[in-house]
Amino acid sequence: MSIIKTSENLSEEQKKENESLDLFLSTQTVIKEALNKLGYSNELFELLKEPLRMLTVRIPVKMDDGTVKVFTGYRSQHNDAVGPTKGGVRFHPEVNEKEVKALSIWMSLKCGITDLPYGGGKGGIICDPRVMSFGELERLSRGYVRAISQIVGPTKDIPAPDMYTNSQIMAWMMDEYSRLREFDSPGFITGKPIVLGGSQGRETATARGVTICIEEAGKKKGIDLLGARIIIQGFGNAGSFLAKFMHNAGAMVIGISDANGALYDPKGLDIDYLIDRRDSFGTVTNLFTNVITNQELLEKECDILVPAAISNQITAQNAHRIKASIVVEAANGPTTLEATKILDERGVLLVPDILASAGGVTVSYFEWVQNNQGYYWSEEEVVEKLRKVMIDSFENIYQTAQVYKVDMRLAAYMVGIKKSAEASSFRGWV
């Protein structure tokens, strides 16, 4: 007798694989729609619907207990017509091929939106860095670089941090690459520590980019940040820096959450205290008893809602109950396509993920430029340049949405895919 798998008896891994397949298919759907709207041929869709290259590697690592564990890693390069590919490497137990592919397409879109001279790339290793020692993580990082070294490099494909990877991991990877090539190669990877050629402002770049999007969206909706009520779902790197920036701008952060639950106080939360007490994975709600669920938090009364945690949070089920008039997606894929339509019909201004989270790769580009020229900028210069890129990108997408009468997500895909489409045609590929 065959066992029919319903969503209840699927393992966590299988559920995640289904989710990644959905993410990949919905990305392709919107790319097709965007290319159609722009009047491009179906051949361009055939070229851009999948990455040009996907490398799967197996990485043997000596563990601290003397055993050898073999990890699986990926590097996907979506399209390099515009220039070298660019994008982060995530270390996570639920990394899978479809997710890495979809996210590499997203990186092409982000680079198109911000007008950077890159195509999109993405990498990942199936592992749980939370249970690995420093030494094990170092050996894994170096092993990954050796395994993918043929297809990466400062003028080919430039990795960066992503989920559960940080500047220390970038430093090991840069060192390994430099040893292989026998010359110092800071431009091989971005998100490095400052002493190794990292850029001022890179660590806070994603949160700063989201902040600028919130300000611009506020102007469109007539919401002043001073006194605005904000809920942020997620308290990791982006979420916690964002809470701080919002607090500093005079906004009232009335809700935050982590993987275990959420805190909500309509009178405003003590952000400095919460940041001080969070651990390095962004957990803080375990210190409180008055915790509500993440789903409850999303539906609370507020002006601006920022999902900065995981995907599929705003769906057709709860989109009608979202009270915010602005939703800014700081996470990857927090709103489903059906929910996007519902929010748009309800007049909620949605700032899509591929725009809102583009601050990270923008400052990575600045880091790479500084590495290439060997001349370094102050934090003020970086922030000023980032501000200009984000404001121009926001305005371009907002205007595209108005002119073509489409929602902000489709407008972002149109702006994002145009450069790869044009560059591929000019090169004579299609």
Token pair of 328 as six digits: 């800014």
Q: What is the total count of residues that contact ligand GLU (CB under 6 A)?
A: 12
Q: How far is the CB of 368 from ligand GLU (least distance, A)?
A: 9
Who's near 313: CB < 8 A, 6+ residues apart? 233, 294, 295, 298, 307, 331, 334, 335
* Nearest residue to 55 via CA among 178, 135, 149, 136: 149
Among 51, 73, 84, 88, binds ligand GLU (CB under 6 A): 88
Q: How far is the CB of 89 from ligand GLU (least distance, A)?
A: 8
Site string for ligand GLU, 141-170 (x = CB under 6 A): -------------------x-x--------
Restricting to residues 189-228, which ones interact with ligand GLU according to CB under 6 A? Answer: 190-191
Q: Considering beta carbons, is residue 23 or 271 the nearer one to ligand GLU?
A: 23
- According to the binding rule CB under 6 A, does residue 87 interact with ligand GLU? yes
Q: How far is the CB of 81 from ligand GLU (least distance, A)?
A: 18
Among 86, 98, 142, 419, binds ligand GLU (CB under 6 A): 86
| Stretch in the footprint of ligand GLU (CB under 6 A) among 85-93, 131-139, 297-305, 308-316 | 85-93
CB 305 within 8 A of CB 324: yes
Token pair of 22 as six digits: 């959905």
- For residue 164, what is the DSSP state? T
| Stretch in the footprint of ligand GLU (CB under 6 A) among 19-27, 93-101, 353-361, 412-420 | 353-361
Q: Considering beta carbons, is residue 303 or 329 the nearer one to ligand GLU?
A: 329
Q: Which residue's beta carbon is nearest to the bound ligand GLU? A: 88
- According to the binding rule CB under 6 A, does residue 16 interact with ligand GLU? no
Q: Considering beta carbons, is residue 199 or 396 the nearer one to ligand GLU?
A: 199
Token pair of 236 as six digits: 């990791």
Q: How far is the CB of 98 from ligand GLU (least distance, A)?
A: 16
d(C-alpha 386, C-alpha 359), whole Å: 7
Q: How far is the CB of 169 from ligand GLU (least distance, A)?
A: 12
Alpha-helical regions (H) of 39-96: 42-48
Secondary structure class of 296 (helix, strand, coil)? helix
| Stretch in the footprint of ligand GLU (CB under 6 A) among 83-91, 143-151, 257-265, 307-315 | 83-91
Q: How many CA atoms lie within 13 A of 209 on its CB side?
A: 36
Q: Considering beta carbons, is residue 84 or 143 the nearer one to ligand GLU?
A: 84
Which pairing describes strands 119-126 and 304-307: parallel, antiparallel, or unpaired?
unpaired
C-alpha triplet 44, 50, 53: angle, nearest 5°: 115
Residue 427 burial (10 A CB sphere; 0-12, 13-18, 19+): exposed
Q: Would you call 385 a catalytic residue per the annotation?
A: no
Secondary structure class of 293 (helix, strand, coil)? coil
Q: How far is the CB of 119 from ligand GLU (least distance, A)?
A: 12
Amino acid present at 203: E
CB 196 within 8 A of CB 186: yes
Q: Which of 32, 86, 122, 418 is catalytic?
A: 122
| Stretch in the footprint of ligand GLU (CB under 6 A) among 63-71, 72-80, 307-315, 359-367 | 359-367
d(C-alpha 207, C-alpha 329), whole Å: 11
Q: Considering beta carbons, is residue 93 or 268 the nearer one to ligand GLU?
A: 93
- According to the binding rule CB under 6 A, does residue 237 interact with ligand GLU? no
d(C-alpha 349, C-alpha 412), whole Å: 13
- According to the binding rule CB under 6 A, does residue 78 interact with ligand GLU? no
d(C-alpha 47, C-alpha 146), whole Å: 29
Tell me how far CA of residue 303 lies from CA of 167, 169, 175, 253, 271, in angstroms: 34, 37, 46, 10, 18
- According to the binding rule CB under 6 A, does residue 104 interact with ligand GLU? no
d(C-alpha 396, C-alpha 2), whole Å: 53
Token pair of 70 as six digits: 């073999």
| Stretch in the footprint of ligand GLU (CB under 6 A) among 68-76, 86-94, 216-224, 300-308 | 86-94
Q: Considering beta carbons, is residue 186 or 191 the nearer one to ligand GLU?
A: 191
Q: How far is the CB of 173 from ligand GLU (least distance, A)?
A: 13
- According to the binding rule CB under 6 A, does residue 364 interact with ligand GLU? yes
- According to the binding rule CB under 6 A, does residue 360 interact with ligand GLU? yes
Secondary structure class of 95 (helix, strand, coil)? coil
Q: Considering beta carbons, is residue 118 or 235 the nearer one to ligand GLU?
A: 118
CB 425 within 8 A of CB 44: yes
Which residues are at the interface with ligand GLU (CB under 6 A)?
86-88, 110, 160, 162, 190-191, 357, 360-361, 364
Active site residues: 122
